[in-house]
Structure 1
Amino acid sequence: MKRHRIVIAGCGNMARTWAEYALARQDAEIVGLADKFPASAEAFAQKFGLTCPTFTDVGEALRATGATLMFDVAVPDSRRDVVTAALAAGCDVMAEKPLGATMEQARDIVAAADRSGRFCAIMQNRRYDKRIRALRDVIASGRAGEIGFACADFFLGPHFGGFREAMDSPLLLDMAIHTFDQARFMLGKDPIAVTAHEWNPPGSWYNGNASAVCLFEYADGTVFSYRGSWCAEGAPTSWESSWRLVGSRGTVLWDGHGAPTYEVAIADAEPAFLRRTERFTAELDWEGREGHAGCLDEMFAALQEGRRAETDCRDNIRSLAMVHGALRSAKEGRKVAIEF
């Protein structure tokens, strides 16, 4: 069994989940920590009882440790530099989202992965939920027919404090990629254009735009409607959004909490103004782990099997393109093509 020698880049709070996962694997060891703040790396090592060396430079960490795998959990602005350095050094990479702070940076990472031939996958932990996977299976089965209209509502009022409350576009830039990626995963296709509007409503505690509506268009005529707010107190949706997907034979519903349901028109029902329907509950039969562990399980399985992960950088850039397409549309006040 191949043993993975891991350097963790970025020793903030997010890195804890990654470290805990690595320490639980029999085929992995953490051989180095890299953070531009030495005290952060040293405190992280002490917290997890690690005796590995710490570094302020990623390149030095890779050379000194003989790492074969980089966990990049550093801030998004450093993603391109950290990931491309690792790939150029012949190291495989698993990184936090987003793939890049900008689309240009994301494209540079994909190009570096292509040049190096190394593995590069991005964390999209919200794909790994048995309810989302069940919803995807219902759509793929065609039980509700061909989906032509998908809707997601996301309304929560978290008081984060810190950087999110200072961002220009906290909802679209920091959170919406999860819902957009879920839409890509559920529908199995990518939009070609978007019309978006973002704003900061009364009572918001964010400096930037904490609310948005986005209308994504697909080449086959499908439409995906997103409505969201991060300063909506009262009647919250789940973090997974509330979904309605309308197909040619029926409708799939998921409130983001329980099992998805779907209602289909009864084919042999008597002619009526509104046809009778029958309701079903989706089977929650996915046996994989959920959340970060589920995504990391898939990444490691793909790496060991010599294939691209489900969240390979070449796929994930399409989810990021939805975010930046929506931001551009809102800024320019017009429909824009989604480019990746």
Structure 2
Amino acid sequence: MTHKIIVAGCGGMSNTWIDYAIQRANAEIVGLVDIFEESAKAMAAKKGLHVPTFTDLSAALAATGANLVFDVTIPASHKTIAITAMQAGCNVFGEKPMAESFADAKEIVEVSQATGKRYSVMQNRRFMKQIRSYRDLVGSGAVGTVGSIHADFFLGAHFGGFRDAMDNPLIVDMAIHTFDQARFITGADPVSVYCHEFNPPGSWYAGNASAICIYEMSDGSVFSYRGSWCADGLNTSWESDWRVTGSKGGARWDGSSMPYGEVLDPEKPEGFIREMVRIEGQDVYDGSEGHWGCLDEMFAALEAGRPAETDCLDNIKSVAMVFGAVESARTGLKVKL
């Protein structure tokens, strides 16, 4: 199978996607699209690509015979790009979030189902040896039945550009990663959410850049999220700082080191504070990490004729966590998902 790729969007993030496609033996970039054609031409020159450039995706698809679109445009364009591509007979691999609203995300899923074309979403934070180890540690039963999972995310990110003007920059543009990680770690899906969203003093964002969320999950556990994108100092990792509590102990992951846990020591008697034994997460994941790991999975799934791990049919559940949180913050009510 040869993948003939149109890259839609030639901003900074497209560098990684284009570099991946260039090194893949059965992939060929056949065109670049950007609303500012000079950006597409500059990217083609930068990467040594002798391909046509366009300002319109439909024109690019008609001219090149592409069968796969990389959507690395801004979130506001994702719905149009994805639906245009799938209705033209192309599969789509796209940057998160799937769309700027839950209604748009559902429409994308409906078009994917109607056309039989795959739309897979970049959730690169699933593809790290540390989080794979953490998921395995929690899933092994070593800490018992999971009662709660907690994530802290505190960074001072001075992007500039569209994020600074968004209404919900943290929840819509960034928290999708952490919410998807929570589903990945526990294997549970969201049932309801209560969210308080706010913009603290010193924030350089126009919209709410901080939030606290409480999710009820399908396995009966609770997931809590505390986050800020305007927190200068004492920063967590981009992968968040995690804690799982279980019926036999707990597991920690700081987002960068290998995870570990503490479980009840069966050889020690009961006490006011029970004695614990440390357990270590195992380093067994040997796949590529980050964007390249997620792209490996997307291509492997497409070539095997199966949904990717981050196919829109699954990712819609993480998207529901995002827009459920936005709705809860807007209304002040708990929202069922």
Determine the C-alpha separation between the residues in 2 that align with 1:296 and 1:88: 22
Query: How far did residue 217 of structure 1 move?
Result: 0.7
1:297 maps onto 2:296 in alignment: yes
Amino acid at match of 2:173: D
* Residue in 2 that maps onto 1:218: 217
Q: Distance in 2 between matches of 1:140 and 1:271?
A: 26
How many Å separate the matches in 1 of 2:235 and 2:87?
A: 45
Note the alpha carbon deviations across 1:36-76, whole angstroms, 9 max, x for none: 21111111111111111111111111111111111111122
Q: For 1:217-238, what per-residue CA distance to the aligned partner results, in whole angstroms no more than 9, with x for missing partners?
A: 1244310000011121221111
Name the aligned partner's letter for residue 68 of structure 1. N
Residue number in structure 1 paired with 2:335: 336
The worse-fitting range, judged by mean Cα deviation, of 280-289 and 216-225 is 216-225
Give aligned pairs, total.
337
Please, what TM-score do these two structures have when normalized by structure 1?
0.97
Q: State the distance in 1 between where 2:264 and 2:108 align.
A: 47
Structure-1 separation of matches of 2:219 and 2:119: 30
Deviates more, 1:34-43 or 1:128-137: 34-43
1:130 maps to 129
Matches within 5 A, 1:258-269: 258-269=257-268
Which stretch shows the higher mean deviation, 285-294 or 50-59? 50-59
How many Å apart are 1:277 and its aligned residue?
0.6
| C-alpha distance 219-25 of structure 1, shift in aligned 2 (>3 A) | closer
Q: Which residue of 1 aligns with 2:53?
A: 54
2:161 counterpart letter in structure 1: G
Cα distance in 2 between the residues matched to 1:12 and 1:120: 21
RMSD: 1.1
- Could you list the runs of 4 or more consecutive aligned residues of structure 1 that deviate by over 3 angstroms after TM superposition? none
Are residues 1:107 and 2:103 paired?
A: no
Query: What is the Cα deviation at residue 210 of structure 1?
Result: 1.3
5+ long unaligned stretches in structure 2: none
Using the TM superposition, give the Cα deviation of residue 268 of structure 1 relative to its aligned residue in structure 2, in angstroms.
3.6
Asked if 1:237 corresponds to 2:236, the answer is: yes
2:100–2:172: 8 Å Cα contact kept in structure 1? no
| Structure 1 alignment gaps of length 5 or more | none
In the alignment, the residues of structure 2 paired with residue 29 and residue 110 of structure 1 have an alpha-carbon distance, to the nearest angstrom, of 26
Q: Provide the C-alpha distance between the structure 2 equivalents of 1:38 and 1:203, rounded to a whole number of angstroms.
A: 37
Residue 175 in structure 1 maps to residue 177 in structure 2: no
- 3-state DSSP class of the match of 1:275? coil
Counterpart of 1:184, as a letter, is: R
Equivalent-residue separation in structure 2 for 1:123 and 1:204 (angstroms): 28
Query: 1: distance between equivalents of 2:6 and 2:36?
Result: 16
- What is the identity percentage for the equivalent residue pairs of Structure 1 and Structure 2? 55
Deviation for aligned residue 1:161? 2.1
Deviations 1:159-185 (A, max 9, x none): 222222222221111111110000000
Task: Provide the secondary structure at the position in 1 that maps to 2:299.
Answer: helix
Amino acid at match of 1:242: D
Distance 1:335 1:327 in 2: 11
How far has the Cα of 1:328 moved from its partner?
0.5
Matches for 1:1-340 after TM superposition, within 5 Å: 2-338=1-337
Does structure 1 conserve the Cα–Cα contact (< 8 Å) formed by 2:96 and 2:173? no
> Residue 97 of structure 2 contacts residue 172 of structure 2 at CA under 8 Å; is this kept in 1?
no
Secondary structure, aligned partner of 2:149: strand
Distance in 2 (alpha carbons) for counterparts of 1:77 and 1:160: 17
Measure how far apart 1:154 and its partner are: 0.6
Q: Distance in 2 between matches of 1:50 and 1:109?
A: 30
> SS state of the match for residue 233, structure 2?
coil
Is the 2:120–2:311 Cα contact (8 Å) retained in structure 1? Answer: yes
1-structure distance, mates of 2:327, 2:289 = 33
TM-aligned CA deviation for residue 149 of structure 1? 0.7
Q: CA deviation at 1:243?
A: 0.6
Q: How many Å separate the matches in 2 of 1:278 and 1:209?
A: 41
Q: Contact conserved, 2:262 with 2:276, CA < 8 A, in 1?
A: yes
Asked if the contact 2:190/2:317 (under 8 Å) is kept, the reply is: no
SS at match of 1:192: strand
Q: Take 1:231 and 1:77, find their aligned partners in 2: how far apart are those partners? A: 22
Q: Which amino acid aligns with 1:256?
A: G
How far, CA to CA, are the matches of 1:94 and 1:100 in structure 2?
13
Supply the distance in 2 between the matched residues of 1:310 and 1:6 (Cα, whole angstroms): 21
Cα drift, residue 259 of structure 1: 0.6
Name the aligned partner's letter for residue 210 of structure 2: S
| Alpha-carbon spacing, 1:163–1:81, altered in 2? closer, same or farther (3 Å) | closer
Normalised by the size of structure 2, how large is the TM-score?
0.98
Q: Secondary structure at the match of 1:243?
A: strand
Alpha-carbon distance in 1 for matches of 2:146, 2:215: 14
Look up the equivalent residue of 1:310 and give its one-letter code.
Answer: E
Cα displacement (A) at 1:117:
0.9
